[in-house]
Structure formats: C-alpha cells, structure tokens
C-alpha cells in the first residue's frame, strides 16, 4: 500500500484518480493547486504523485522540478496528467523530471493500466536500489578485510619487537631496583594495541558508528 498525492484543480479528475487508487489498495492526499501540492509533498515525500500541469499558484511542471531537486534518488514516481499533446509540450513534461504522462481526457481503465505499470516500475527501482546497497556493503566489507590484513602485518611486526624490548627492559629495571611504572604503562598500552589488531582480524560483519560530527568509525566494542 502506498500513500499517494493527487494534485489537480479539476474535481472530476481527482475523483477518477481516487477511485483508481482505492481499487489498487492505496491511500492518498489531495491538493487543488500547485502550492498546496508542494507543501504536502515536503511533509510526506509521497512515493507516487499524480500531477496536473495547469494549476493555480504553482504549475505542475514547477512542482515536478522542485520534487526532483529534493528527490535526488528519484524515489518519488511522478505521473503527469496533461491536456497538451504537442511533442514540445510532452518533452517539457519529461524534461521537468516526470516518469510518465497521460493526456486528457482519459478513462479509468487507461489510468488503471498506467498505474499498474508505475507500480511495476517502482518495484523494479526499489529492487535495484536494494541490490546497489547490498553491493556497497559487500565492497565495504571486502575493503575492511583487505585493510585489516595490511594493518595486522604492518603493526604486529614492529609491535612484537617493541613489546619484547620493553619486557627485557622491565626485567633489568626490576633486577636493579629501579622504578618500573613507566615501562609497565608502555607494555600495557602495547598489549592493548595488539588486542585491537587481533579484534580487527576477527571482524566478520563490521559496523560503523558515529565518531565526531559527520565522521564514522568501525565499532570495535565487544
């Protein structure tokens, strides 16, 4: 079920679209002019908009352009109803960002058919977006895995040498009765780094969390 937006100043057309959307199991909001349509869309970001071109206050093409400016991912499907049928007029409709158009006068049967096509198109687009998101995650995880191998190699080798040297120094200082707090701190922090590097290597489903501002970091908490 979708929440659609109907924008038309002709009550007969609005009633026709309402009947079709109801038959398809969808809900709807209605607007009788372009300014109201734009206001309603900004609040709800309807996934489908049925839009007349010629409306008071703000014409349909401008509403269409404004939606596209805010809807970079084209998640709103825009079906334009137009009484114009010249090639240049229809080109203007598509140039404004509409997905499809129907010329007036139209019938409930014709409108129903175009709505069904719109639904299939929206489902395909959603599946495509989901596939792209899964691919992005897969690439992210692959990148994390490659980075982890590199970090383990580049950090573990010098860290092993550092800890080994520090532990020898600790033994010598203990034998000489010298203070050992600072060297113990070095060893403690070195082992902490070693544990973090090991945890990186054990990541199987890395998740990112907010760090500072808009930055994110990998969550290494247990």
**pLDDT tens for the 222 residues of the chain, in order:** 889 999 999 999 999 999 999 999 999 999 999 999 999 999 999 999 999 988 888 899 999 999 999 988 888 999 998 877 777 778 888 889 899 888 888 888 888 898 888 888 888 877 777 777 777 766 666 666 666 666 677 777 788 888 888 888 888 888 888 888 888 888 888 888 888 777 776 666 666 666 666 666 566 665
* Bridge partner residues of 103 (DSSP): 82
Residue 172 — φ and ψ, nearest 5°? -65, -40
pLDDT at 167: 87
**CATH code for the part of the protein at 3-106:** 3.40.50.2300
pLDDT at 57: 87
pLDDT at 17: 93
User: How many whole angstroms separate alpha carbon 102 and alpha carbon 106?
Assistant: 7
pLDDT at 118: 86
pTM of the model: 0.61
Domain ranges of the chain: 3-106, 137-218
pLDDT at 50: 94
């Amino acid at each position: 079920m979708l929440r659609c937006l109907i924008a038309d100043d002709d009550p007969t057309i609005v009633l026709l679209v309402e009947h079709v959307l109801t038959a398809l199991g969808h809900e709807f909001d209605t607007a009788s002019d372009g300014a109201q349509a734009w206001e309603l869309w900004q609040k709800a970001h309807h996934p489908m908009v049925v839009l007349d071109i010629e409306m008071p206050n703000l014409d349909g093409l401008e509403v269409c352009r404004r939606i596209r400016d805010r809807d970079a991912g084209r998640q709103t499907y825009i079906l334009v109803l137009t009484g114009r049928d010249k090639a240049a007029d229809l080109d203007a409709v598509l140039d404004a960002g509409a997905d499809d158009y129907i010329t007036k006068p139209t019938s409930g049967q014709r409108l129903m058919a175009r709505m069904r096509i719109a639904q299939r198109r929206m489902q395909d687009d959603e599946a495509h977006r989901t596939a792209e998101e899964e691919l992005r995650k897969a690439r992210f995880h692959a990148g994390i895995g490659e980075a982890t191998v590199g970090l383990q190699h580049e950090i573990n080798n010098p860290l092993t040498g550092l800890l080994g040297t520090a532990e020898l120094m600790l033994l010598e200082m203990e034998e000489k009765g010298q203070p050992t707090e600072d060297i113990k701190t070095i060893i403690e922090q070195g082992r902490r780094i070693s544990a973090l590097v090991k945890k990186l290597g054990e990541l199987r489903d890395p998740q990112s969390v907010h760090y500072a501002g808009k930055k994110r970091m990998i969550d290494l908490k247990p």
